[in-house]
Amino acid sequence: MKKTLLLVALFLGLVSVNAQTKEELHSQKAEKQAIADAAQAEADALQAKIDALPGWRTGAFGTIGGSLSNFNNWYSQDTPNNASGNIGFTLNAFANLIEDKFFWRNALTTNLNWVKLDDKDSSIDDDSFRPTTDVFNISSLYGRNITKTLAASGLLEYRTTLLDNFNDPGYLDLGIGATWTPIENLIVVIHPLNYNFVFADGDSVFDSSLGAKIVADYTRQIGAINFKTNFSTFQSYKSSDLSNFTWTNSFSYTLWKMIGVGFDFGLRSNKQEALNYIQNLPTDQGGNPSETFDTVDNDLQTYYTIGLSYKF
């Protein structure tokens, strides 16, 4: 009986010692965490002061996605012997010069994607990687400050495709007006005097015109999260058929070091592109050379990309 009581007392003592040790470790951890949080808060405050200083601010982030596959004698599918793949990436970069009296903001957005399906049993199919998503946009905005949140500004914006039909069409906007920055990281450009130059080869439906340009851009980094949303629209004074808009969005979350996950999607409406596409599509695929602005279906254009992201 005495031995049993002794063993029980020894067991309870060990449990008590372990509990105290665990509590002490939790307490020490809490103290260290409090010190680390205070240091991080001081570092964030110093970084905010650095960001507020005049000078250049640069940055970039992007998304990389892809897959490769190979099948041999996989009889449950229509093409039992094939090699397929999909590769794509996006890049968002900026270089901004911020001074007390003026600013110069430059941005680049691109989204490129290739896909292939090689039927090994066919000698006439295309076994190369073919471009699918093809987006390229570059802009430069210069402004002279009138107030803390309002500036007189001039904008140059160019967008086209890189992999297929480069500059056919290509759009170049040149305009002047005002830029409003109501909060940090948000830029709203309103240019009532803007000329939209449209470049295209041959006799086409594309036409340049004078109109108004509106751009809203919000780019921000919060810890491991990077995101950017950009809405750009041109409203033609000549005809609504020549108006267009593009809305792109990019999001990335860093999981480990510089690598994470990313998601991009975009929307576009452009009646000139819709009409040009349907007029030049082969008739056996639904093409109609006699289609006009009044009859064409201007369906909303969309894309998205999901994959690994890399923070530059």
Residue 181 DSSP symbol = -
Answer yes or no: is pLDDT of 24 > 90. Answer: no
Q: Answer yes or no: do 33 and 169 share one domain.
A: no
CA distance 228 to 212: 23
| Range of the structural domain that residue 25 is part of | 1-53
Q: Answer yes or no: do 154 and 224 share one domain.
A: yes
Q: Give the DSSP H or E segment for 272.
A: helix 271-280
Q: Answer yes or no: do 15 and 163 share one domain.
A: no
- pLDDT reported for residue 144: 97
pTM of the predicted model as reported, rounded to 2 decimal places: 0.77
> Once rounded to an integer, what is the mean pLDDT over residues 30-51?
76
- Nearby residues of 309 by Cβ (< 8 Å), 6 or more positions away: 61, 62, 63, 64, 252, 253, 254, 259, 260, 261, 262
Q: Give the DSSP H or E segment for 64.
A: strand 55-71
Q: Answer yes or no: do 166 and 266 share one domain.
A: yes
Q: Answer yes or no: do 127 and 38 share one domain.
A: no
CA distance 152 to 154: 7
Domains contained in the chain, number: 2
**Among residues 9, 36, 53, which one ends one of the domains?**
53
Cα of 289 vs its chain's centroid, Å: 35
Q: Answer yes or no: do 107 and 135 share one domain.
A: yes
Q: Answer yes or no: do 33 and 91 share one domain.
A: no
Q: Answer yes or no: do 66 and 27 share one domain.
A: no
Q: Tell me the CATH number at 158.
A: 2.40.230
Intra-chain end-to-end CA distance of the chain, in Å:
71
CA distance 301 to 88: 18
pLDDT digit string (tens) for 123-174? Answer: 887 778 888 888 899 999 999 999 999 999 999 999 999 988 889 899 999 9
Q: Answer yes or no: do 113 and 250 share one domain.
A: yes
CA distance 293 to 237: 16
User: What is the residue-averaged pLDDT of the chain?
Assistant: 86
Q: Answer yes or no: do 29 and 61 share one domain.
A: no
> Once rounded to an integer, what is the mean pLDDT over residues 179-201?
94
CA distance 245 to 214: 9
Q: Which two tokens stand for residue 242?
A: 């020549």
